[in-house]
Structure 1
Amino acid sequence: IEDVHTYLQEKQVFSSAESDAVARTKTGEVCGLRKRVGKGFVTALGFAFGYTTDDHLLVYQKIIAFDHIKREAKVSDPDIQFVIRRGKKYSYMFLLNYHNARKTFTVGSRRYSLDPFSCKVIKRK
């Protein structure tokens, strides 16, 4: 995992095989690793994110990319957060704009706008 910045300087450094490393300190020490456990994998990160969600999302995206997991929906503006919940008859997509500006974006081929600090719920069969 490259280019993940944190203001918190404290890091847990791991002794591990070079092939297990997924994150390093500025001095090159391993502070994140990925290991096979049973039929799956564990990713252990030896650092904290601080207070910005942008750092969190970047790390989550990079970890998920290891297993080639695709997003459930494509939202054109990365600042718009979304959650999908499915029921027996319907699914709901919750779109959230936590920014201090109006956002216009697409979900798939449909265009939406959200005011600052607002949300929208899309119901689908």
Structure 2
Amino acid sequence: MPWYVRGYLVLINLISFGAFVYDKIRALRDEWRIPERRLHFLTIGGGVFGSGMGMFLAKHKVSKPVFYVMLILGFFTFLGIMKVTDVHPDRAASQTTDTKNERPNKSEKHSRSIDKHLPRHPVER
């Protein structure tokens, strides 16, 4: 998985966790709240683990079934992101087009150095 996808997933989970905890604090103080639609967006946008932890650690929005549905949808979104950005070795090898800049492995290096020192004999027919 590319570094920027990992960074996005970490960031969206931290933001969604903070949003749920912040909304709980605001609810206890009877102050302005984060709209539920925004919390749903954070959950479905890949922040399923942060949202889930924020829900259960802060005991916030746990009585609303729609938030459980959003957690499930967010989990599938997370799995989709993981699947789309997953690079398997066989796919990575087929995507490589420039072979000139690749470094040879140790056995190739060794065989090349031995070949340099062997005398060249003419081929007998």
TM-score (normalised: structure 2) = 0.23
- The structure with higher relative contact order (CA 8 Å, sep 6+) is 2
**Comparing both structures, which one devotes a greater share of its residues to helix?**
2
The structure whose residues are more often strand, as a share, is: 1
TM-score in terms of structure 1 length: 0.23
